[in-house]
Structure 1
Amino acid sequence: MKKVWLILFVLLLAWLSLFVGVHDVSVSGLMQGDELQWLLLVKTRVPRTISLILAGGMLSVCGKIMQHLMQNKFVSAGTIGMMDSARLGILLVMLLFPNSSTLLRAGVAFIFAYIGVLFFLSLSRILPKGDPMILPLTGVMFGNIIGAVASFFAYQFQLVQNLSSWLQGNFSTVMEGNYELIYVTVPVFIILYLLAYQMTVAGLGEELSTSLGMNYQLLQFIVFALVALGSSSVLIMVGNIPFLGVVVPNLVSLFYGDHLKNTMSITVIFGSVFMLICDILSRVLIAPYEIPVSVVVGMIGGGLFLFLLVRRRKG
């Protein structure tokens, strides 16, 4: 029953998202057949709302899966260098193929994101296991190194502004005809959900899952490839969204527990709710101007992240 209420809340926020913005779109105007309002609704508001729901759900469930498989509550695509690796790949495409298609950029971003996460998985095997903060801190440093390399080349070839503006989390540029790649997240989630039982077992550890007859490393390679694909498609379409993959899975764990299979769908819903709320706030806080949603997510998510750190220390 709680899940039903959450779904209804998502639908309510999605409805509100359709009618919030600089330009007036109202139910009465749509019923009267206002062509401009219908154009805005179909071309911008509906694509934007769909993108918010899919991006929030995808990033949240990717964070949940990574935290479960790596047995660490503070791991996400943003804290293991995956997004920085994808960013480096996008920069190389911009340098070598300035007029490349979005599909090519997405493909290269996925390849670099996957290489980055595989490298970090190898690195994680030699790290000390005592303190759970070692893994995310190492991931942040690893990501910063890759990010520094990307920034060096961006400055060298005067692409800093292009890269920064293009990858800043912002849904204001989402329009019909240039956002459809984000639908890749739908089959990715379906496949991940079908693998939920295997991932739940794998989260018990390599030794135990292998003793139960599971090919642990193969499952890791497949799952992290799906995670890289889903995360890079969101990055290409709407930019980088900080903290979401860490905060939402931890909030879900507080209320619903840590069982991956039982909480995957709830994590998706929570992520969509969080993203919709932040985007609506980004449109109304300084209206008629709009704040990039990554700024709002960063402020709220950063505060929640500090809360989770303090709670862990007290626990």
Structure 2
Amino acid sequence: MKKRYLIILLVILSILSVFIGVVDLTPTDLFHLTESQSQIIWISRFPRLISIIIAGVSMSICGLIMQQLSRNKFVSPTTAGTMDSARFGILVAMLLFSTASPIQKMLVAFVFALAGTFIFMKILDKVKFKDPIFIPLVGLMFGSVISSITTFFAYKNDLIQNMSSWLQGNFALIIQGSYEMLYISIPLVILAYLYANRFTIAGMGEDFSTNLGMNHKKIVNIGLVIVALMTSVVIITVGMIPFLGLIVPNIVTIYKGDNLKNSLPHTALLGAIFVLACDIIGRTLIFPYEIAIGVTVGVIGSGLFLYLVMRRKVYE
């Protein structure tokens, strides 16, 4: 899995994505664009492409960091309650700050996502049965409890339909002016790369990290803040994209190993490619209609998750 092949594949899929849509556009049209075609490219399709790439990169790196810090390959924002906590935070923002801007809602979601992730990590420390399959099941149960609380309060305040439609992963509504918040993820990705070696050491355990003179808790907290903030930004802008942070890091780790600095660029590229491919499938399968990205990634991701579970059992 060489990086240049991933880059070439990403470029090919990106070009395909720009020219797929209800309004016909061909590469030759680029040389004599009408005003309406120009608006379609710059107001709709190009912002959609950018948001797909950033969301894919962000959620994949979130999963990679969480798996490294928790020392469990089946932990991700989906299986650790991070996404459900962010969703609960968005509901609280809608109830208490009805006129809040997207940035303010994102900050509330960030606080709840961070709190939920910290609680999961504390639960992880208390669990004595450290089987790799058992831990994400605990996370899924924890997330389900938070999701049930969110659904209860949404039902009581007649916000079920609003929450469901708004937070379902969907790039169809992405246009110029509605996706720029995703740019917050770019410096966070750079920060994750700069701290990659420290996250790798932190993943070897507190005793090992302390013996090397590193503040283990500080590095873990930095990693969790990065994860919570990127997850909140993606959920506010695009919606929930399940299993992405679980599948992509596992696939990369099989070929690149557990050194975070080596695997992070490949994880970012493969995450963008995976979301882009799922988006293209969703747009072409029932053309001219489209399937939401949360559905396509969820179906394909759940199948790959089962494969990874079965693959682990075979090696055991």
* TM-score, normalised with respect to structure 2: 0.98
Letter in 1 for 2:27: V
2:14 aligns to what? 14
- Corresponding residue for residue 57 of structure 1: 57
Residue 129 (structure 1) shift:
3.9
Q: State the shift of 1:105 in Å.
A: 0.8
Aligned residues: 315
Shift, 1:202, TM fit: 1.0
Q: Gaps spanning 5+ residues in structure 2: where?
A: none
Contact 1:128 1:134 in 2 (8 A): no
Question: In structure 1, what is the equivalent of residue 217 of structure 2?
Answer: 217
Counterpart residue type for residue 252 of structure 1: V
Cα distance in 2 for residues equivalent to 1:14 and 1:261: 25
Q: CA deviation at 1:7?
A: 0.8
Q: 1:153 maps to which residue?
A: 153
For 1:121 and 1:2, the matched residues in 2 are separated by: 34
Which position in structure 2 is the counterpart of 1:299?
A: 299
Preserved CA contact (<8 Å) 2:200 2:258: no
* 1:1-315 matches, cutoff 5 A: 2-315=2-315
CA contact (8 A) 1:19 1:26 kept: yes
1:105–1:130 Cα change, 3 Å: closer
Cα distance in 1 for residues equivalent to 2:134 and 2:206: 19
Counterpart-to-counterpart distance in 2, 1:24 and 1:115 = 46
Q: Which one-letter code corresponds to 1:35 in the other structure?
A: E
Q: CA deviation at 1:65?
A: 1.0
Gaps of 5+ in 1: none
Report the alpha carbon displacement of residue 209 of structure 1 after superposing the two structures with TM: 0.8
* Cα displacement (A) at 1:260: 1.2
C-alpha distance in 2 between matches for 1:191 and 1:264 = 12
> Which range is displaced more, 43-52 or 18-27?
18-27
AA paired with 1:220? V
Matched AA of 1:148: S
Letter in 2 for 1:311: R
Distance 1:301 1:22 in 2: 27
- Could you say what secondary structure the match of 1:125 adopts? helix
Structure 2 CA distance for aligned equivalents of residues 247 and 33 of structure 1: 39
SS of the residue corresponding to residue 178 of structure 2 reads coil
Query: How far did residue 30 of structure 1 move?
Result: 2.8
Between the aligned partners of 1:131 and 1:82, the Cα distance in structure 2 is 21
Alignment deviations for residues 125-158 of structure 1 (CA, whole Å, 9 cap, x no partner): 1101441122111111111111100000000011
Segment drifting more, 142-151 vs 92-101: 92-101
Give, in whole Å, the separation in 2 of the partners of 1:195 and 1:202.
Answer: 10
Distance 1:130 1:21 in 2: 47
Secondary structure of 2:126 counterpart: coil
Q: Provide the C-alpha distance between the structure 2 equivalents of 1:198 and 1:253, rounded to a whole number of angstroms.
A: 17
Do 2:110 and 2:232's aligned partners in 1 also have CA atoms closer than 8 Å? yes
How far apart, in 2, do the equivalents of 1:46 and 1:33 lie?
Answer: 15
Q: State how far apart, in whole Å, the 1-side matches of 2:33 and 2:71 are.
A: 54
What's the CA shift for 1:299? 1.1
Given that 1:86 and 1:112 are in contact with CA atoms closer than 8 Å, whether structure 2 keeps it comes out as yes
**CA deviations over 1:144-197 (Å, ceiling 9, x no partner):** 111100000000011000001000000000010111000111000000100011
Q: Deviations over 1:71-118 (max 9, x none)?
A: 001000111111111111100111122222111111111111001111
Q: Which amino acid aligns with 2:65?
A: I
Aligned letter for 1:120?
F
Moved more, 107-116 or 23-32: 23-32
In the TM superposition, what is the alpha-carbon distance from 1:236 to its structure 2 partner? 0.6
- One-letter amino acid matched to 1:34: T
